Structure 1
Amino acid sequence: KAYAEHAIRIIETHDSGIIESLVLCVTYCFTLHWLNPLQQMMKPLLKSYEVGMQMGDTESAGWGIYHYTLLAFQGSHELESLAHDASIYSRQMWELGRIKQSTYFNVTWQLCLNLMGHAEDPLALTGEAMDEEDYTERASGKSIHLRPFLLSHKIILYGHFGAYQQGADLALQVGDLAKEMPGSATVVMCACMNGLSLCHMARKTSKRQYKNGAKKFLKRIKMWLANGNPNIQHWVCLLQAEWAAFQDRQHIAKRNYETAIIVAARSGFVKDAALASERYGEFLVNELEER
């Protein structure tokens, strides 16, 4: 963090020219979102795009505006607007020859479309923006960085649609995507959804692999919170609620579910608040049925 902040001070006090977009992109895309509220990331990332386009650094501009969109998704911005913006930026990046950025936009664009119900199969990233089979084939070839990115979006999709067995099995199958996407905000969203799916399956089946996986991701997310990430407190509470429900500690589960909902809503993570409310509702229904 200290190096990132020092780099920002330098470009603010000197004529940074062509490197300004790159510095803003790297510091805000891969470092500062781990230690600052997401809302504080948006203007600098938008500036990275604007400055990069003005100076001809379309690569940094593309990554800056892509991560702006990604963090906006994490921060529960309205899905229809995100899908619209992603479609525009995807085409722009393609026209500029920035194929990788265009490809990443397509994946997030399709994720938004699926979550809005605009896909024939809600669990397949296939529709207006992309074809999952085609992208999976590309990811197994030269586009090695596309693989973890595509898998992370599948895990996020499974979690939002309650396909917890598919999500948990995929989490166990692909292993630690954080090593393949160091610093990316996708790592955070993916880990949270992994934890949710694995906790659910641990409670449903009591199988060791799900229990061990759930504990691993809960430990990791709690470590991120302890290290200063202000954007995941509600996720720690939600996963602690799921784990307490698995352990039959009903009072602790209720307290954590309620805290997760309140913290998520007050912090602006409306989508996560809705998900936590859904999980709490299912917990209460199960509690009534077990009486």
Structure 2
Amino acid sequence: TLQSSLKPYLEGYQSGMRTGNKTYAMWCLSTHSVLIPYMTGKPLKSIEEQCQVCVSQMTELKEEEQSTCTRIIWQLCLNLMGQSNATVELRGRAIDEKEDSSSVLGNSTFPIIKTIAYSLFGEYELGASQEISLLNHFELNGGHFITMMYMFHQALCLYAMAKKNRKTKKYKTRAKILRKKLTASFKRGNPNVVHYVCLLNAEHAAIDQKKDAKDVCKLYNDAIVISARGGYVNDAALAHERFADFLLSNVGDTDEAKYHIEEAIKCYTGWGAMRKVEHLREQYQGVLVGSSTT
């Protein structure tokens, strides 16, 4: 699991520093202190603090590629926390995608983190437009950490676009490809994608007009429960959010949708994503009238 990988990555960092392999050490440090904590829903504030420490050491050791990767993730955290005026643009204290374009745009982490930002802040068309050829760069041999997260969020964007454009098959087709890749990874024994697969199964069923709404609701509830049990508060929030959208657009159950929006807000608040909380409150202002979360 991701959690059980923390110790080996810490040991890798220590070994790299001890033997003088600074590049290896810094990749291990970034994965241990930033990437895995982010993926497992650890508080954004603690991740943001670790980003500062990591970037400081990477800069001191002149490991610029690792520093740029970490600063890109750091800026996403700042955006989510509301410590930047931006949402999907990576612009603020950690990095500026326009001013630092020479180093940022060529970094393979950049389009992945942008896709995640698009997914979380509802810019689904932009998220769906990211090139699927990125998967050729990150082979899914058992499940590369950042690839899993990228495929999950792009699939969510694609399913959202498929729902808006039911006559256009391209979004659904591409979403199915990503869903199948993650499902295959799970079947090969990757325990880190089960909650991703559950939510994508719900999203896939939600655009199937032949599916009974009760069956789709069960799939969303399963995704929420599995994410929460795994400690993925960020993904549990996302599952609540996507379920609420289904309830509003497909079922017309405003009361149940309101409950899941409120639960999403609680989860995002616990994660520390206060700008995302504001985004939800603005998006569902009419539904949340009279709610204790407004």
Aligned counterparts of 1:286 and 1:212: Cα–Cα separation in 2: 22
Aligned counterparts of 1:254 and 1:48: Cα–Cα separation in 2: 43
1:264 to 227, 234, 242: 227
Partner of residue 181, structure 1: 138
Give the letter for the 2:27 counterpart: W
Q: Which segments of structure 1 move beyond 6 Å, counting only runs of 4 or more?
A: none
- Contact preservation (8 Å) 2:198, 2:219: yes
Give the letter for the 1:216 counterpart: I
Aligned counterparts of 1:96 and 1:115: Cα–Cα separation in 2: 29
Partner of residue 119, structure 2: 159
* Aligned residues: CA RMSD: 1.8
- What runs of 5+ residues in structure 2 fail to find an aligned partner? 255-294
Q: Which runs of structure 2 are paired with 1:67-106 in the superposition (5 Å)?
A: 67-68=31-32, 69-106=34-71
What TM-score, normalized to structure 2? 0.79
Q: Which runs of structure 2 are paired with 1:130-149 in the superposition (5 Å)?
A: 130-138=95-103, 143=106, 146=107, 148-149=108-109
Give the letter for the 1:266 counterpart: R
- Contact preservation (8 Å) 2:68, 2:103: no
Aligned counterparts of 2:138 and 2:104: Cα–Cα separation in 1: 14
- Contact preservation (8 Å) 2:162, 2:169: yes
Give the letter for the 2:111 counterpart: L
Q: Describe the superposition over 1:202-238 as per-residue Cα deviations: whole angstroms up to 9, x where unpaired.
A: 0111112111111111111111111111011111111
- What runs of 5+ residues in structure 1 fail to find an aligned partner? 1-36
Give the letter for the 1:130 counterpart: I
Alignment of 1:123 onto 2:123: no
Q: CA deviation at 1:135?
A: 4.1
Aligned counterparts of 2:216 and 2:124: Cα–Cα separation in 1: 19
Q: Describe the superposition over 1:179-202 as per-residue Cα deviations: whole angstroms up to 9, x where unpaired.
A: 213364111100000111101110
Any idea what SS the aligned residue of 1:124 has?
A: coil
Alignment of 1:224 onto 2:181: no
Q: CA deviation at 1:288?
A: 4.1
Partner of residue 200, structure 1: 160
What TM-score, normalized to structure 1? 0.80
Give the letter for the 2:132 counterpart: G
Give the letter for the 1:127 counterpart: G
Q: CA deviation at 1:166?
A: 1.5
Q: CA deviation at 1:247?
A: 0.8
Partner of residue 263, structure 2: none
Q: CA deviation at 1:290?
A: 8.5
Partner of residue 289, structure 1: 252
Aligned counterparts of 2:138 and 2:239: Cα–Cα separation in 1: 26
**1:99/1:215 Cα in 2 relative to 1: closer, same or farther (>3 Å)?**
same
